A = this chain, B = another copy of it.
Amino acid sequence: MNIQEVARRAAVSTATVSRTINGSDKVAPKTAERVRQAIKELNFYPNTNARALGSGRSRLYGLIISDITNPFFPELVRSFEEIAVEAGQEIIVANTGYDPKRTEMCVRRMLERKVDGVAIMTSEMSDPMAERLGQNRLPMVFLDTGVAGLATSNILLDYSRGVDAAVSHLTGLGHERIGFISGPRAFESTRMRSDAFLRALRQQGIAIRDEHLQEGNNHIDGGSLAMERLLQLEERPTAVLASNDLMAIGAVGAIHGRGLAVPRDFSVVGFDDIEISASIYPALTTIRLSRREIASCAFRALYAASHDRKMEGREYRIAPELIVRGSTAPPRLDCKRR
């Protein structure tokens, strides 16, 4: 079943069938109708590979993430797919598994598939790799890394906005000792979030104590461990900001495991607003990083660049937003006094 059979049945040339399928205005309404009829009768659907080969456009966007198992990503993937399908494109996602070697393979696969653009939502992309990509004049969009340039755009997360709001919220409640659980120091994203936190404290005139800064591993267990360390301190913080929700959940678990309660004894604030955060008990106060918004920016960037390849990329800025829920409250008085 191919375009020729359709052409024969509709008594037109294959060119006309192709034009009809692609919605060209160079075909008379009644002819188009005849073609559509034939397509329906034969239950024809075009071969994407041939289309891509003929036109040079694959109608495919690549999405590179580190690990779909990280709860930050599923919503991003879903949003991106939804938007793409809406626009008649498809997506192909690849997990790098935080491994540069696999990242290289992912990129290669994208190139081989002749994607129309690729969204790189992970920081394992080394500069030489990014450059190699750039040489292919492939529309790209990075999250929080790289620089905009020819056909490559950039989504910047304004961490400070979110962290400032969170810290204000806590000081507003009366907290004066605020702890921070960071991700692994090696990660770029860790540095950005930590910096934003330190800046916020300084701005609010709160003293920074080194022992209140604990390193986690971006997972629940690391959050628990980091919280345990904070709990053993002589001068414990009364509130804790974790640099992602998973660690915040771990911190809550550690607190409860000690027979203490959130938010009675400690306030906890997360980061990301993964889906589960809204429904656990207590519901997590957190800094939302809208995955839908990220996906939308990424798509717009790729779409624009893939339709005009000599276009300069631009920068998109996304402001996180504080979502206040049940895990924050004023500190206990006896703590406050101490």
Q: Which of A48-56, A138-146, A164-172 contacts B (4 or more CB under 8 A)?
A: A48-56
Partner of A68, one of B46, B68, B113: B68
A90 and B90 contacting across the interface, CB-CB below 8 Å: no
A280 and B78 contacting across the interface, CB-CB below 8 Å: no
Contacts of A85 in B (CB 8 A): 105
Q: In the complex, what distance in Å separates the CA atom of A58 from the CA atom of B49?
A: 8
Q: For chain A, residues 49 to 75, give those with C-beta under 8 angstroms from any C-beta of chain B.
A: 49-50, 52-53, 58, 67-69, 71, 73-75
Contacts of A256 in B (CB 8 A): 256, 281
In the complex, which residue of chain B has the Cβ closest to the Cβ of A111? Answer: B45
Partner of A53, one of B50, B75, B95, B254: B50
A48 and B112 contacting across the interface, CB-CB below 8 Å: yes
For the complex formed, measure the closest distance between the CB of A109 and the CB atoms of chain B, giving whole angstroms: 6
B95 and A92 contacting across the interface, CB-CB below 8 Å: no
A78 and B69 contacting across the interface, CB-CB below 8 Å: yes
A235 at the interface (CB under 8 A from B): no
Contacts of A276 in B (CB 8 A): 71, 220, 249, 276
B114 and A49 contacting across the interface, CB-CB below 8 Å: yes
Q: In the complex, what distance in Å separates the CA atom of A75 from the CA atom of B81?
A: 18
Q: In the complex, what distance in Å separates the CA atom of A112 from the CA atom of B44?
A: 10
A47 at the interface (CB under 8 A from B): yes
B221 and A279 contacting across the interface, CB-CB below 8 Å: yes
For the complex formed, measure the closest distance between the CB of A45 and the CB atoms of chain B, giving whole angstroms: 5
Q: In the complex, what distance in Å separates the CA atom of A92 from the CA atom of B73?
A: 16
List 25 A-B pairs, Cβ < 8 Å: A45-B112, A47-B53, A47-B112, A48-B49, A48-B112, A48-B114, A49-B50, A49-B53, A49-B58, A49-B113, A68-B77, A68-B78, A69-B74, A74-B74, A78-B95, A82-B95, A85-B105, A90-B109, A221-B279, A249-B280, A253-B279, A253-B281, A254-B281, A256-B256, A276-B276
Known: A45-B108, A68-B77, A82-B95. 6 other contacts (CB 8 A): A47-B114, A48-B113, A49-B50, A49-B53, A68-B68, A252-B281
